[in-house]
Amino acid sequence: MDYITCTPKRLPAEKLVAAAKTATTINPLNHAPLERLIRLMPGFAPTPEHIAVVTSKYWGLQGVKLTVGFMDNPEKALKQRLLLHMNAWAKTANVTFVETSTDPQVRVARTGGDNGGYWSYLGTDILHIPKGQQTMNLENFTMQMRESEFHRVVRHETGHTLGFPHEHLRKGLVAKLDVAKTIAYFERTQGWSEAEVRAQVLKPINEATLRGTADDAKSIMCYQLPGTITLDGKPIIGGLDIDATDYNFAALIYPKPKMSGPTPKTPANKTSAKKASKKTAKKVARRAIKR
């Protein structure tokens, strides 16, 4: 079976600083954790360019409603199906994707060729993409695509649109990568330096912080890497669907508003209820004695 894998997408270098400013203006919590980075990455230089690279791109705790446009006018059934899977994140998060034909924020295309593949820009970065260009690409997606790929690919790319980056790989998965080919791949697709590739991809996350067991990437946001850079030629496909931990994380980043409900009983009300209950009990007892 041929699996579709995600090609990480990043803005051109000349837009990174401006995009970081946009991200922190929309959501101040996006500010780069400089102190932590300096501790973890000796020699890290907090220049505007470096800060821009590590700035988060989440839309904010108030939630987000994004408009979606389809650039190549696919059939109505496909539009509805794609929107259904994009909105799967709304199960626990305050996020909504709605179709519009007027100036959509999320622009979905199914382009092939040099700009083809399966990718999305990250979160607030989509605001820096020219209006005539897609912010998400789903090459070759049709109604004939396997349902499992809608779950795995569309939900993964939508996670990127919400600002969720790729998760680090586990130790066992990193061991499957051809180091030279991996470095060349990310230098070519992302413009990363060798040091950045080693830090972002080839350095596994601390196993003590991982959930689950074995070297099985459960998260839908786990790196998806092609077989061309693995030692055995098999792709790393990442999670198959949004899992419980993904849903919990989404709920933290985009918490749903608290639902208003009936006013809870006050202690005074509880006291009144107890008194009424006692009176009823006494009446029942008196009736029993009379009988």
pLDDT, average across residues 195-217 = 59
Q: How confident is the model at residue 78 (pLDDT cuts 50, 70, 90)?
A: very high
Q: Tell me the C-alpha distance between 192 and 49, whole Å.
A: 13
128 and 24 part of one domain: yes
- pTM for the complete prediction? 0.77
Is position 101 within any domain? Answer: yes
C-alpha distances (whole Å) from 108 to each of 74, 89, 104, 117 are 10, 17, 10, 12
Strand ranges (E), 24-117: 64-70, 95-99, 106-109
Q: What total of structural domains would you count in the chain? A: 2
Show the 3-state SS of 137-174.
EECCCCCCCCHHHHHHHHHHHHHHHCCCCCECCCHHHH
**Are 211 and 183 spatial neighbours (Cβ–Cβ below 8 Å)?**
no
> Quick one: residue 163, left, alpha or beta (phi over 0 = left, psi -120 to 50 = alpha)?
left
160 and 135 part of one domain: yes
pLDDT tens digits for 8-45? 788 998 999 999 999 999 999 998 777 766 666 666 66
138 and 161 part of one domain: yes
Residue 206: the pLDDT is 47
Res 180 pLDDT > 60? yes
CATH number at residue 112: 3.40.390
Q: Tell me the C-alpha distance between 56 and 28, whole Å.
A: 10
Q: Which two tokens stand for residue 22?
A: 């946009």
In sequence order, the 6+-apart residues with CB closer than 8 A to the CB of 49 are 13, 16, 17
| Top-confidence residue, 132 or 285 | 132
| Top-confidence residue, 263 or 199 | 199
Res 217 pLDDT > 70? no
Is position 89 within any domain? Answer: yes
Is position 132 within any domain? Answer: yes
26 and 135 part of one domain: yes
Under DSSP, the state recorded for 89 is G
Res 58 pLDDT > 60? yes
Which stretch of DSSP H or E encloses residue 11? none
289 and 268 part of one domain: yes
121 and 162 part of one domain: yes
Is position 285 within any domain? Answer: yes
110 and 75 part of one domain: yes
Strands 106-109 and 136-138, bridge-based pairing: parallel
Is position 74 within any domain? Answer: yes
In sequence order, the 6+-apart residues with CB closer than 8 A to the CB of 134 are 71, 107, 108, 109, 111
Is position 100 within any domain? Answer: yes
**Are 223 and 201 spatial neighbours (Cβ–Cβ below 8 Å)?**
yes
147 and 104 part of one domain: yes
Q: Tell me the C-alpha distance between 121 and 100, whole Å.
A: 19
Structural domain of residue 274, as residue ranges? 261-291
pLDDT tens digits for 93-107? 999 999 999 999 999
Residue 207: the pLDDT is 46
pLDDT, average across residues 166-187 = 87
147 and 19 part of one domain: yes
274 and 246 part of one domain: no
Residue 290: the pLDDT is 39
Res 256 pLDDT > 80? yes
114 and 245 part of one domain: yes
87 and 116 part of one domain: yes
pLDDT, average across residues 203-224 = 59
Q: Tell me the C-alpha distance between 82 and 56, whole Å.
A: 26
Res 269 pLDDT > 80? no
Q: How confident is the model at residue 281 (pLDDT cuts 50, 70, 90)?
A: very low
**Are 139 and 157 spatial neighbours (Cβ–Cβ below 8 Å)?**
no
Residue 201: the pLDDT is 85
Is position 186 within any domain? Answer: no
Residue 173: the pLDDT is 82
Is position 35 within any domain? Answer: yes
| Top-confidence residue, 12 or 237 | 12
